[in-house]
């Protein structure tokens, strides 16, 4: 049982590591942006249908009003001609259209209220989407900076500065030793000859004359 438990633990660790690598913050932001765009598309389609229904209802109200005016005019003409039966029928239709108009107008008010709600929701989604776009740009910049710093830190941690310092020290010691060899060579090169030459060049005429006078005496 202990072996199987260890295998399960290792497998879980591998899967979690894979999921962590897949959760790229930039990719996550892009996915959220796509989801928000889909929601905006759905909201816009619903709003378009709602506006279509509202316009259609308004057109129906306009047609009903025209029928009411038409039946009213027909009833007046029938009364002028003494055709009371036709006038009665026209008035009955006019009353029915009045009732329909009242219902249509109530329905239109309800539709307008729904349209306002949908417009508000769409505007809220649009504002949220714009905020997401701005935040996406900012977060993408921050993610790039953090990624760069992380890479620099990884390079710094893997960079063995002690070896470099020791190498520089050894190089400096070699250079110092080479310089010491040059200086030592300058001191040991024909010291007696140089001293003799210096001695002869420093004798004055007065000293030579005194020495000659001694020899003559």
Are residues 128 and 36 in contact, defined by beta-carbon separation less than 8 angstroms? yes
Asked, for residue 54, whether it belongs to a domain, the answer is yes
Asked, for residue 33, whether it belongs to a domain, the answer is yes
Q: What is the residue range of 72's domain?
A: 22-160
Asked, for residue 212, whether it belongs to a domain, the answer is no
Asked, for residue 171, whether it belongs to a domain, the answer is no
Asked, for residue 30, whether it belongs to a domain, the answer is yes
Nearest to 162 by CA among 154, 152, 153, 170: 170
Tens-of-pLDDT digits for all 217 residues of the chain?
556 555 555 555 555 544 455 567 777 878 888 888 898 999 899 999 999 999 999 999 999 999 999 999 999 998 888 888 888 998 999 999 999 999 999 999 999 999 999 999 999 999 988 888 888 888 878 877 877 787 777 766 665 666 767 777 888 888 888 878 788 776 655 554 544 444 445 666 777 667 666 666 6
Model pLDDT, residue 161? 62
Asked, for residue 180, whether it belongs to a domain, the answer is no
Number of domains in the chain: 1
Asked, for residue 32, whether it belongs to a domain, the answer is yes
Q: Is 159 left (phi over 0), alpha (psi -120 to 50) or beta?
A: beta
Cα–Cα distance, 90 to 84 (Å, whole number): 10
Asked, for residue 66, whether it belongs to a domain, the answer is yes
pTM: 0.54
Are residues 107 and 57 in contact, defined by beta-carbon separation less than 8 angstroms? yes
Exposure string over 171-193, b if 16+ CB within 10 A, otherwise e: eeeeeeeeeeeeeeeeeeeeeee
């Amino acid at each position: 049982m202990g072996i199987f438990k260890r295998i399960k633990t290792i497998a879980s660790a591998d899967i979690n590591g894979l999921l962590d690598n897949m959760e790229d913050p930039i990719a996550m932001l892009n996915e959220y942006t796509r989801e928000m765009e889909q929601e905006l598309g759905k909201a816009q389609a619903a709003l378009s249908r709602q506006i279509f229904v509202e316009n259609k209802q308004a057109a129906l109200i306009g047609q009903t009003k025209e029928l009411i005016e038409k039946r009213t005019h027909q009833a007046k003409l029938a009364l002028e001609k003494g055709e009371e039966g036709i006038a009665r029928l026209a008035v009955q239709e006019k009353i029915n259209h009045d009732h329909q108009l009242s219902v249509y107008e109530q329905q239109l008010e309800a539709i307008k209220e729904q349209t306002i709600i949908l417009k508000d929701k769409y505007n809220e989604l649009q504002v949220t989407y714009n905020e997401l776009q701005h935040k996406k740009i900012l977060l993408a910049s921050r993610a790039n900076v953090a990624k760069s710093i992380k890479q620099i830190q990884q390079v710094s941690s893997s960079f063995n500065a002690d070896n470099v310092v020791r190498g520089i020290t050894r190089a400096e010691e070699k250079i110092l030793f080479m310089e010491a060899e040059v200086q030592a060579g300058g001191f040991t090169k024909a010291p007696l000859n140089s001293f003799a030459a210096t001695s002869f060049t420093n004798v004055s005429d007065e000293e030579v004359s005194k020495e000659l006078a001694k020899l003559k005496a």
